Amino acid sequence: MKDYLTRRGFIRTTAAGSAALTWLGARRGPNVFAAGAAKPALLGGTPAHKGGWASWPQWREAWEPKLLEMYRSCKWFRGSGSNVTDFENGYAQMLDAKKCLATASGTTALIVSLHVMDVDAGDEVICSPYTFIASYNAILNSKALPVFADTDPATLTMAPATIESRITERTRAIMPVHIFGMPCDMDAINAIAKKHKLAVIEDACQAWLAEYKGRKCGTLGDLGCFSFQESKHIPSGEGGAITSNSEELIDKCNSFHNCGRACGTNQGTGSFTRGNNYRITQAQAVLLLQQFEKLQKETAIRRANADHLSANIGKIPGITPVRLPENSRAVWHLYPFRYNPAQFDGLSREKFMKALQAEGVPCSAVYREQYFDGLLDEAINSRGYKRLWSAARLKSYRDSFNDLKGNKQVCDTTVAMTQNILLGDRSDMDQIIEAVRKIQTHSAELVKRA
Ligand SMILES: Cc1ncc(COP(=O)(O)O)c(C=O)c1O
């Protein structure tokens, strides 16, 4: 934290271009503040932001003694030292969850949770299509079918109103994804789950400390799953966790992730239950244990910067920040907004992103319509899936991808920046805002550029 605050400092003022800001006037409405004189970098102007962004992941020398101590102790496996349980207790406490189980990854946290919530071969799970592909793969791992609710273009998360029409007699669970650390509308989702007696497994793999109505994501359904992979806000290379307010469920998760061994309330004789090895190591836990405070401090910085961006780029016609559910707080694993080329003289999203990147602001379109990529076709054309579902069901399932109009809109119009950018200072954020304004002012010229 200190590193980048002192390094980046507060001495920089907004770029020279901002001094030349002018009111753009009637073309795009009276509230548009635009950098009339400053040329976009792609047209030969000076980039709005210079000097890069905080690197990720980050190392702290202060972490070294604990890691060395763990390695020297030769207690590396989860069962032989206390770091993993210390981490689990601390993480549960930070989230105000009753229990936590650390796992090898976010994917394995999802796999374990689906098994424990009794998702079996031939079952269906309602999932968000707008997510990292691991959400799909975890469901496929159970030989179940990921059935997609549509995405709400305003929130980028699962639209609760589109869930019930997808429920069949085979549906066992709903898996909402708090994508980019933005909470789903969990009251609505939980109410549907309760009505149809479905389990709720939150994919909170990007949502450490995100809050919905005063409670943390990952504690709002039956089980919540987290990832600590290297890009994440609390990284350990690989790693994951499951949180819950049910001790019994976490004990079952523990058994399944530990080769089927008995745990706590989940007792039996001999090899009484199935299991796998999805254990985390002590080394990962040592890294994670030392990052609680860093995570909390950086979350506050990301939130403040995201609020500033939303309040300002949201004033630029054609840029729509996301809407969060009432009384909720995101943690912004990515900072997304939706882009409308019509307000930029028809400048395509690809060209807009190129122009923004040239301003020194890395950005991307993030997720495609991944259900057309091939993995689901491979699954439903496999021997196993053909045995488990009728040809008619597999056809209607495949056809249903074309109904995901909200998700298509989101995939076609979203632009996002990565979380490390939100660790910049206020002047960095102002430079991003200025970059977008510059691009809009000069969009007609940018359209003509190859
Ligand atoms: C939404 C989502 N779900 C699941 C995962 C899987 O986590 P892991 O990479 O730790 O297996 C990720 C990781 O990027 C994710 O972003």
Per residue in 392-416, pLDDT (tens digit) is 999 999 999 999 999 999 999 999 9
Residue 84 — pLDDT band, cuts 50, 70, 90?
very high
- Residue 208 Cβ inside 6 Å of ligand 1? The answer reads no
Residue 1 — pLDDT band, cuts 50, 70, 90?
very low
Local structure of residue 304 (DSSP, 8 states): H
**Average pLDDT estimate for 151-161:** 98
* 107 CA → ligand 1 middle, Å: 6
The CB-side HSE value for 275 (13 A sphere, CA atoms) comes to 21
Q: Are 78 and 211 in contact (CB under 8 A)?
A: no
Classify residue 6 as exposed, middle or buried by CB count within 10 Å of its CB (0-12, 13-18, 19+). exposed
Residue 449 — pLDDT band, cuts 50, 70, 90?
confident
Residue 171 — pLDDT band, cuts 50, 70, 90?
very high
Question: pTM here?
Answer: 0.92
Nearest atom in ligand 1 to 105's CA: 10
**Average pLDDT estimate for 183-207:** 98
Nearest atom in ligand 1 to 240's CA: 10
**Average pLDDT estimate for 76-98:** 97
Q: What is the pLDDT of residue 354?
A: 98
Q: In whole numbers, what is the pLDDT of the chain averaged over residues?
A: 92
* pLDDT beyond 80 at 154: yes
- Residue 131 Cβ inside 6 Å of ligand 1? The answer reads yes
Q: What is the residue with the minimal CA distance to atom 4 of ligand 1?
A: 134
Nearest atom in ligand 1 to 177's CA: 1
Integer CA distances (angstroms), 429 to 20, 185, 275, 433, in order: 18, 28, 48, 6
329-367 residue pLDDT tens: 999 999 999 999 999 999 999 999 999 999 999 999 999
- Residue 135 Cβ inside 6 Å of ligand 1? The answer reads yes
Residue 140 — pLDDT band, cuts 50, 70, 90?
very high
* pLDDT beyond 80 at 15: no
3-state SS assignment for residue 2:
helix
The edge-to-edge listing of strands for the beta sheet with 171-175 is 99-103, 240-244, 223-227, 199-203, 171-175, 124-127, 145-148
**Average pLDDT estimate for 366-395:** 98
Residue 37 — pLDDT band, cuts 50, 70, 90?
low
- Residue 226 Cβ inside 6 Å of ligand 1? The answer reads no
**Average pLDDT estimate for 170-195:** 98
- Residue 206 Cβ inside 6 Å of ligand 1? The answer reads yes
Q: What is the pLDDT of residue 51?
A: 87
Task: Give the H/E segment covering residue 138.
Answer: helix 134-141
* 86 CA → ligand 1 middle, Å: 23
* 421 CA → ligand 1 middle, Å: 20
Question: Cα(20)–Cα(36) distance, rounded to whole angstroms?
Answer: 7
* 429 CA → ligand 1 middle, Å: 27
The residue type found at 324 is L
**Average pLDDT estimate for 217-227:** 98
* 180 CA → ligand 1 middle, Å: 11
- Residue 236 Cβ inside 6 Å of ligand 1? The answer reads no
Which of 35-44, 369-378, 393-402 has the lowest average pLDDT?
Answer: 35-44
Q: Which residue bears the tokens 């491979």?
A: 378
- Residue 157 Cβ inside 6 Å of ligand 1? The answer reads no
